[in-house]
Structure 1
Amino acid sequence: MRKIVVHEPGSHDKLRVEEHPDPSPARGEVLLDVRAAGVNYADCVVRMGLYESAKKYVGWPITPGFEFSGTVAALGEGVTDLALGAPVFGVTRFGGYASRVAVPRHQVFPLPARLTPEEAAGFPAVFMTAYYALFELVRLRPAMSLLVHSAAGGVGSALVQLGKIAGCRVVGVVGAAHKVEAARRLGADAVIDKSSEPLWAAAERLAPEGYDVILDANGVETLRQSYRHVASAGKLVVYGFHTMLPRQGGRPSYPKLAVDFLRMPRFNPLDLCNDNKSVLAFNLSYLFHRTEILREAMDRLIGWVEEGRLSAPPVKTFPLERAGEAHRAIESGSTVGKLVLTL
């Protein structure tokens, strides 16, 4: 089989296509012929050597990739409810940039009729991240106000749609004019283009009392102000730190990382109580073993897709051999929707 292998941390040139023996499915696993694999910003962080769960579960060398679509190639002992050749999609704790991958049965789902294989490959990681943020960490109520950073990106576009399904008022934040219409099409009630207007002045104008939920993957650039703009009894949900990492070059600046670490806001429990606010954070890659969470999330998400209430983000594809180009594109911050590798 072919797969991308990263032998040591570094820039885009560390993504190498190699030939390896096919994996064999263990008991309770499914072997997949991969047709497409989703690209996430986290994959770039893995390549740079800064992703903690990658260090914990794999080390070097490593094959990035959290999500895929394809067909069932073989079944491990004990798996009897899937047919060979069946179209499926799912998640994997690393290893997705490969023509074959073996994963536990509970991480594989039937391909929805409304999604192409390429759309499906870019669906689960972002929508499960958004689902966990909004429906596990937060109890949404109709008419709540949500502020979604990076609202035209992968997770951001999922957050906007799920927020609207829950009956919330959603304000999206984007970083360029060409992303405004994309966020509006997803259902955002208002869109702030921070490249053309002051972000926080606009946010205050749209929600003078603050926001019930703010969802932030930017890191130090916006976290402090995000917390300040959370309403009383509101929640700040943190799921990434993108602004701490480079937009060009593919290598982290360790002096910048050190400065940003020192600038990172610290949330004192006493202040949280007195402010009557909550700060919540998570990393989806630590949750793949939680069968009940994955099943509930994907059952509801697939149901909403089949009902036409959720749509996959627009997809731009790259062949596996051009994974470095996909990483450059997603790191630039200029993309809309999802990037997907095709095999």
Structure 2
Amino acid sequence: MKRVVVDRPGGYERLRVEAARDPEPVLDEVRVRVRASGVNYADCVIRMGLYESAKHYVGYPITPGFEVAGTIDAVGSLARDVAIGTEVIAVTRFGGYASHVVVPRAQIFAKPRALSFDEAASIPANFLTAHWALHGLAKVRLGETILVHSAAGGVGGALSQLGRRAGARVIGVVGRREKIDVARGLGCDAVIDASSGDWVARARVLSPRGYEIVLDANGASTLRASFELLCAPGRLVIYGFHSMLPRGRGRPSLARLARTWLATPRFDPLAMTGTNRSVLALNLSYLFEQRAILHEGMRDLLVAFERGELVAPPITCFALDDVASAHRALETGATVGKLVLVAQP
């Protein structure tokens, strides 16, 4: 097998592709011959050494990757209900940047027939994050108005689609004019181009009474304004801190990290109670023990994809050997949709 290994935190040069013996499944495990692996911003944070759950669960050296699509090519003694050759999606807590992965039987799902392997690998991390954010935490309701940051990105696009599916009015924010049409195509009723002026003022015009839900992965650069845009009652859901991290340089700046950490708002529970506004947060990698949550989310999502209620995001493919280019592209902030790594036959 081939896999990507990060021996220790650093820049793009730390992404090393190596050959290794194929892993063998035991007991309730299955081995997936990977056709495509999803690339997430969290993988870049893992490479930089700033992802807490990576240090908690694995440590370094580490193989990034939370999701793959491929075919079953070996099973353990307690997983013989799965046929060799079955096309599946697998969720992984790290290890997905490889040509073969072994995962518990409970972490594989039948690939929807309508999706290619590349598209299927784009689903779990982004859509499970979005599903738990909207349905598990924020409890989105019919007719609510929601604001989605980075609405043309992976999780943002999933949030836009799921918000539309739930009957909410979806307002998206994007960082570049060329992303407006992408966000509209993913379900936004209106799109704000933050690069063209005061995005907060525009957001207030589009929903003068405020927003029931705001979904934000930017961190210090937008969190305070996101909270202030909430109506009462309103819920701010945080699932990342992208503004703390470098754009296309590969390595974090300690000075920038310190500045943005200091600038990150601390929300006062007394003030939240007094204004009837809440702050919620999630990190998908800590939910893997909650198999009921993962299965409920994946079942709902895969049925929706089979029915055509959801569509895969725009896909950009990179060879597994070109993983550094994928990370570099993602960190520029210029990409739309989802990046995937394609394993060579």
TM-score range, shorter chain: over 0.9
Q: Letter of the aligned partner of 1:73 in structure 2?
A: D
Q: CA deviation at 1:291?
A: 1.2
Residues 107-132 of structure 1 show CA distances to partners (whole Å, capped at 9, x for unaligned) of: 11011011000000111110000000
Q: How many angstroms apart in 2 are the aligned matches of 1:139 and 1:46?
A: 30
Gaps of 5+ in 1: none
Find the counterpart in structure 1 of residue 151 from structure 2.
151
Find the counterpart in structure 2 of residue 39 from structure 1.
39
Q: CA deviation at 1:269?
A: 1.1
Residue 306 of structure 2 corresponds to residue 282 of structure 1: no
Shift >2 Å, 4+ stretches: none
Find the counterpart in structure 1 of residue 193 from structure 2.
193
Q: How many angstroms apart in 2 are the aligned matches of 1:15 and 1:124?
A: 23
Residues 91 and 107 in structure 2, CA contact (< 8 A), matched pair in contact too: yes
User: What fraction of aligned residue pairs are identical, expressed as a percent?
Assistant: 56
Q: CA deviation at 1:289?
A: 2.0
Residue range with higher mean Cα deviation, 78-87 or 113-122: 78-87
Find the counterpart in structure 2 of residue 272 from structure 1.
272
Q: CA deviation at 1:64?
A: 0.4
Find the counterpart in structure 2 of residue 98 from structure 1.
98
Residue range with higher mean Cα deviation, 27-36 or 331-340: 27-36
Question: What are the within-5 Å matches in structure 2 for residues 10-21 of structure 1?
Answer: 10-21=10-21
Gaps of 5+ in 2: none
Find the counterpart in structure 1 of residue 317 from structure 2.
317
Q: How many angstroms apart in 2 are the aligned matches of 1:219 and 1:27?
A: 42
Q: Letter of the aligned partner of 1:128 in structure 2?
A: L
Q: Letter of the aligned partner of 1:104 in structure 2?
A: P
Q: How many angstroms apart in 1 are the aligned matches of 2:132 and 2:28?
A: 25
Question: What are the within-5 Å matches in structure 2 for residues 319-338 of structure 1?
Answer: 319-338=319-338
Q: Letter of the aligned partner of 1:116 in structure 2?
A: S
Q: CA deviation at 1:56?
A: 0.4
Find the counterpart in structure 2 of residue 215 from structure 1.
215
Residue range with higher mean Cα deviation, 129-138 or 72-81: 72-81
Q: CA deviation at 1:40?
A: 0.3
Secondary structure of 2:321's match? helix
Q: How many angstroms apart in 2 are the aligned matches of 1:247 and 1:53?
A: 22
Instruction: Give TM-score, length-normalised by structure 1.
Output: 0.99
Residues 290-334 of structure 1 show CA distances to partners (whole Å, capped at 9, x for unaligned) of: 111111111110111111110000100000010000000000000
Q: CA deviation at 1:254?
A: 0.5
Superposition RMSD in Å: 0.7
Residues 90 and 108 in structure 2, CA contact (< 8 A), matched pair in contact too: yes
Q: CA deviation at 1:77?
A: 2.3
Residues 107 and 288 in structure 1, CA contact (< 8 A), matched pair in contact too: no
Q: Letter of the aligned partner of 2:43 in structure 1?
A: D
Q: Letter of the aligned partner of 1:293 in structure 2?
A: I
Question: What are the within-5 Å matches in structure 2 for residues 54-93 of structure 1?
Answer: 54-93=54-93
Find the counterpart in structure 2 of residue 233 from structure 1.
233
Residues 317 and 342 in structure 1, CA contact (< 8 A), matched pair in contact too: yes
Residues 315 and 337 in structure 1, CA contact (< 8 A), matched pair in contact too: yes
Q: CA deviation at 1:198?
A: 1.1
Find the counterpart in structure 2 of residue 114 from structure 1.
114
Q: CA deviation at 1:150?
A: 0.1
Find the counterpart in structure 2 of residue 242 from structure 1.
242
Q: How many angstroms apart in 2 are the aligned matches of 1:315 and 1:216?
A: 22
Q: How many angstroms apart in 1 are the aligned matches of 2:274 and 2:41?
A: 35
Q: How many angstroms apart in 2 are the aligned matches of 1:230 and 1:106?
A: 38
Residue 46 of structure 2 corresponds to residue 22 of structure 1: no
Secondary structure of 1:195's match? helix
Q: Letter of the aligned partner of 1:245 in structure 2?
A: L
Q: How many angstroms apart in 2 are the aligned matches of 1:18 and 1:80?
A: 30
Q: How many angstroms apart in 2 are the aligned matches of 1:24 and 1:163?
A: 40
Residues 174 and 180 in structure 1, CA contact (< 8 A), matched pair in contact too: yes
Q: How many angstroms apart in 2 are the aligned matches of 1:287 and 1:130?
A: 13
Q: How many angstroms apart in 2 are the aligned matches of 1:82 and 1:49?
A: 36
Residues 248 and 329 in structure 2, CA contact (< 8 A), matched pair in contact too: no
Secondary structure of 2:195's match? coil
Q: Letter of the aligned partner of 2:247 in structure 1?
A: R
Q: CA deviation at 1:26?
A: 2.6
Aligned residue pairs: how many? Answer: 343
Q: CA deviation at 1:288?
A: 1.4
Residues 21-62 of structure 1 show CA distances to partners (whole Å, capped at 9, x for unaligned) of: 111113211111111100000000000000000000110100
